[in-house]
Amino acid sequence: MLRFSNFIFPEATEPKDDGRVIHESLVEAKLCDELGMEVVWLAEHHFDGNCAYVDPVSFAFALAGATKQITIGFAVAQLSLHHPIRMAEQMAVLDHLTKGRLIVGLGRGTAYNVYDYQGYDIDHNEAQARYEEADKIMDLAWRSENGFDYAGQFWNLKVPRLRPRPFTRPAPYTLRAASSEEGMAVLARQGLPFMMNVQSNDTAAQRLRLYRQTMHGAGFNEAHVDRCVRESWIWKNIFVADTDEEARRIALPCFEKMLVHRRQLREKIYKDQGILIKQENMLGARANPEHALICGSPTTVAEKIAEIDKIGWGGLILQFRLGPMAAADTNHSIRLFMEKVAPQFATRGVPSVAAAQ
């Protein structure tokens, strides 16, 4: 009983491709809206072409006017790069424009690309602390009816009152990312759902067991734990074609090229500056198509998704467009999925904000 969504994370290999890919991404989101997909997720990456629209907040405003029913989510907004009050204002406006069709997905920011932080004049060693403080300030801004003062490590604020007040009260629906087991455990102890990056099915099952155990250990009852699991999402790359052979022929080269492109600027910065935040494990689940890519005919894809369904996750964040993949191939994959795969699984709507906060 999975929920399905599309992670629009479009690569533009060269600057000349930016405008075309941004427009194709808008068309892709509208197609998902028309086909009844539940959520469209947006990423945030800078300077490298790994995400053509770069700024998910700006792009979300475009989607708000171009779609009618699909929920717009962030997976994630790199909160360490944003001023929390400006972000709180932007999310409140977006919440009104979408009439609550919004998931404010928040995370620290990239664990690999130092140039994201350098370009914004932020010490990457401060990223986690900035994220945690900004998250606290945003929630305070949404919920404070009469303004507030705040004195912290990075921000000293006197906020008369946030305007506009959010459409969704007391605050927009917010979801946090946890790429590590430790980060997931922190959210579990707080009784919160979460988004997880690409992992093997074995790791996904192990983490879900730990998540449940940690929540029970923190005193949350079974009903609360079950609800949080239903609201949690895991990321998988996907491609659906008419046959298994066609799916492999199109998807596998695009998947491999995507991995190469995502490393290129990082490796150049390391060569030029000698700075590397973290060494990416290219033998890990994210780089292994066996674990990271659901690929095949509608029948094969449905079988693979059924394996994830048995684990018990609430939702799948599915990235359909892989690297240099053509928009036509991506859209055909989405259409096949929604017409021939998704109907085989029961879906549920996004939980209410009141239940999630």
What does the pLDDT look like over 267-284, one tens digit per residue? 999 999 999 998 876 556
By CB atoms closer than 10 A (0-12, 13-18, 19+), residue 156 is: exposed
By CB atoms closer than 10 A (0-12, 13-18, 19+), residue 15 is: exposed
| End-to-end C-alpha distance for the chain, whole angstroms | 23
Which residue in 113, 92, 96 sits closest to 268, CA to CA? 113
Decide if domain 3-356 falls under CATH 3.20.20.30. Answer: yes
With beta carbons less than 8 A apart as the criterion, state whether 173 and 142 touch.
no
Which residue in 133, 124, 125, 126 sits closest to 106, CA to CA? 133
**CA distance linking residue 195 with residue 316, whole number of Å:** 9
What are 111's two structure tokens? 């664990």
What is the biggest distance separating any 2 CA atoms in the chain, rounded to whole angstroms? 61
326 contacts: CB under 8 Å, gap ≥ 6: none
**CA distance linking residue 33 with residue 24, whole number of Å:** 14
Does residue 237 sit in helix, strand or coil?
A: strand
pLDDT value for 283? 54
**pTM confidence score:** 0.95
**CA distance linking residue 68 with residue 253, whole number of Å:** 34
Ramachandran region, residue 44 (left: φ > 0; alpha: ψ -120 to 50; beta: rest): beta
292 contacts: CB under 8 Å, gap ≥ 6: 198, 236, 237, 255, 285, 286
pLDDT value for 280? 74
Domain residue spans in the chain? 3-356
pLDDT value for 282? 55
Q: Which residues of the chain have pLDDT under 50?
A: 347-357
pLDDT value for 241? 98
What are 248's two structure tokens? 């492999």
Render the burial of 24-36: b for 16+ CB within 10 Å, e for the rest.
bbbebbbbbbebe
Query: Is beta strand 102-107 parallel, antiparallel or unpaired with respect to 77-78?
Result: parallel
**CA distance linking residue 60 with residue 39, whole number of Å:** 12
**CA distance linking residue 253 with residue 256, whole number of Å:** 5
- What is the helix (H) or strand (E) element at residue 84, kind and residue range? helix 84-97
Number of neighbours of residue 92 by Cβ within 10 angstroms: 23
Numbers of helices and strands, H then E, in the chain: 13, 12
